[in-house]
Structure 1
């Protein structure tokens, strides 16, 4: 059945946490350049992908953006928060992802985008030293300041709607605690200023949901992935999704692991290492922040291969992940994988992958797609965890009653089938 979707009228505010970071600045520059006709939105499903409608012989393959009521790029207004006060033009220069001519094509627009002071606690990101930060007596007050920022931004920029997306650094690892189990317990911890259990990212999530804005978690932080936030999102009828943008090495794992499983090939071990020189690499050089990322990256293979069902093939896999900070590479990440697989009669084979990618170039189109899809979900009255957006995340959010789907192609089918249902088309099972 076709869903009642409110039209995408008016301006849509995109508020990025970590506005001056490499991912955010690259996403903003690229989107502004695309809408001026200076660049192509390569990597963006919302802008380039087609969607099959009806039977195969009907030959209907329109672009998604032509049949799904997404916000127009010309209606987007960018803002956000950062721990440094540079405008987006200066921040993008510092990030050294894009060449000067690409920045200069939208220079005036970038210089006009200045970050609001960030909610920051160095205990949660030990390698960063913020200078453009909020002062708040409690986590509750911190969230209230963010709520005011959202209201002020909407008013100043005449926005009808807002989406908030975390594209900032990975916080230190924290397991699910009692304070995260219910909204009442969470709010109590905020008001009591329990800084060991309430992270700054959680203040952004709480503030966004409180203001009726969809919230997207692009890092592996616990943040919105907890019963308290699920309860709050349901109460406020707001979409949430996450976590941890799926870009390089893990994207390959969600392609290669299904290949092994569908062919019933065995696996002895999978060793993954990365070298990365941007701010993200520096943050992940801290063991506590790396632990958060490691949990996210390690979850993929077991979920796809289901060792409990195939113990003879996947019951004793040795899986190791490493991330090494290497400043000369800057944003140009290299992900290297050694995969020891097993074939017919137990004979060993190896697969080696060396992915020389550009971290923010891969992440930027994900940011654009996610904010447009989250806004769509809000207008379609789809609240809570948006599992149909799992395609974009290393560690897809799910409640305790569901198992996450990691297979990239199943995720993509689910995404497109959700869009088909939203516009009143039949879902596709590929039996025709």
Structure 2
């Protein structure tokens, strides 16, 4: 497959719907790294190594030196937002990064201004921005976004584009008949159907323009049959859903360990407080339900209670998110885990994670942008399940259960890169070392 990966030549435009705390932290981090003022900690594409061949070969290159990724110097930023602030102003207001750090890259950030957003307050009731496209049919909104994409690419002389959704969580909706086929979906947009969410319009516009789309929120977005089929038909990579950052990151680390040791779990209570724009949006019950569904699915898929009733058949899982303005972007999560071991004796685990939401999300945005661009150049269209590592609720082909174990997700990601470059896959079996030894005696 190595020869099928096109070179990462020219500029790569990274388009971001929603230029709030996550997006501005991501952009500022890349610009600071380019000037040698920071390091891209947390980004596998920049910091991680990958093993090639046998352990005895001692081949552990950086991922960025192994696969043909676009470099940070090739990236050009753009996007949409409901507030008319350049990235410097938005990052200052988000209060994630120190002002001295922002001031050091002020010129670069001030040069990036958002385009007017497609916005429907029915889907995000707690926001009321004014920097939005005039009310129109959702079909015409899609056409306007496609025109934005075309103009951005031409104006910035970009060779390729990717789009990563960093905007708010929309209210909870389920797939209906209008989401089943592209014909029904397009007809519904032309009829200005209420069941077409703004994120779906962005996803549709991206796919139609040949732009890979990654969904960082739990919204349906491109996770509907119509857009999955369209992506396959047009040869466009898609992935989602919902960046795996704080509490769910910890669950996908801890839960596989408990399952590996066959320890029982009968209760897992999770509570969060955060005060950024995401917290404000999730303060509405309709929007919280979308996030709740995404977060609740993780433990069921890891523990598989239907196959392990003695260990997890009575598992009670509860998730709470509370808006708390004083904490800003500094999310705090508490997990109480009631476990039991030998002969049913109870034990407890307490986790108090004082994390920074946008600091954890920013490297995910970078990795997804670069890996989605890589997938597109490798002709890997449709759902990119190998990027499940980055998502709370990984999008999969119909009928496939998602893999939530972060360690298995990492193996899948690394083996996909090895396969892409014509290297042997690694199973970690290791028996050949010992079989060879026995045969030599």
TM-score above 0.5: yes
The residue that corresponds to 2:15 in the other structure is: 15
Give the Cα separation in 2 of the matches to 1:153 and 1:64.
29
Matched, 1:188 2:187: yes
The residue that corresponds to 2:227 in the other structure is: 229
Give how far 1:431 is off. Answer: 1.7
Runs of 4+ in 1 over 2 A off after TM superposition: none
Give the Cα separation in 2 of the matches to 1:399 and 1:321.
27
Matches within 5 A, 1:412-427: 412-427=410-425
Deviations 1:252-310 (A, max 9, x none): 10111111111111111100000000000000000000000000000000001011110
The residue that corresponds to 1:26 in the other structure is: 25
Give how far 1:401 is off. Answer: 2.4
Query: Secondary structure, in 3 states, of the residue corresponding to 2:42?
Result: coil
Give how far 1:3 is off. Answer: 5.0
Aligned 8 A contact 1:3 1:421 in 2: no
The residue that corresponds to 1:112 in the other structure is: 111
Deviations 1:316-343 (A, max 9, x none): 1110000000000000000100000011
Matches within 5 A, 1:84-163: 84-163=83-162
Q: Point out where structure 1 has 5 or more consecutive residues left out of the alignment.
A: none
Give how far 1:67 is off. Answer: 1.2
Across the two proteins, how many residue pairs are aligned to each other?
430
The residue that corresponds to 2:322 in the other structure is: 324
Matched, 1:336 2:331: no
Give how far 1:137 is off. Answer: 2.0
Give how far 1:378 is off. Answer: 0.4
Give the Cα separation in 1 of the matches to 2:335 and 2:329.
19
Give how far 1:138 is off. Answer: 0.7
Give the Cα separation in 2 of the matches to 1:172 and 1:136.
20
Give the Cα separation in 1 of the matches to 2:316 and 2:403.
21
Give how far 1:136 is off. Answer: 3.8
The residue that corresponds to 1:305 in the other structure is: 303
Query: Secondary structure, in 3 states, of the residue corresponding to 2:83?
Result: coil
Deviations 1:144-202 (A, max 9, x none): 0000000000000000100011001000000111111111111111111102x100100
The residue that corresponds to 2:80 in the other structure is: 81
Give how far 1:2 is off. Answer: 2.9
The residue that corresponds to 1:167 in the other structure is: 166
Give how far 1:312 is off. Answer: 1.1
Give the Cα separation in 1 of the matches to 2:321 and 2:249.
16
The residue that corresponds to 1:428 in the other structure is: 426
**TM-score normalized by the length of structure 2:** 0.97
Give the Cα separation in 1 of the matches to 2:392 and 2:274.
18
Give how far 1:250 is off. Answer: 0.2
Give the Cα separation in 1 of the matches to 2:32 and 2:287.
33
Give how far 1:135 is off. Answer: 1.2
The residue that corresponds to 2:436 in the other structure is: none
Query: Secondary structure, in 3 states, of the residue corresponding to 1:300?
Result: helix
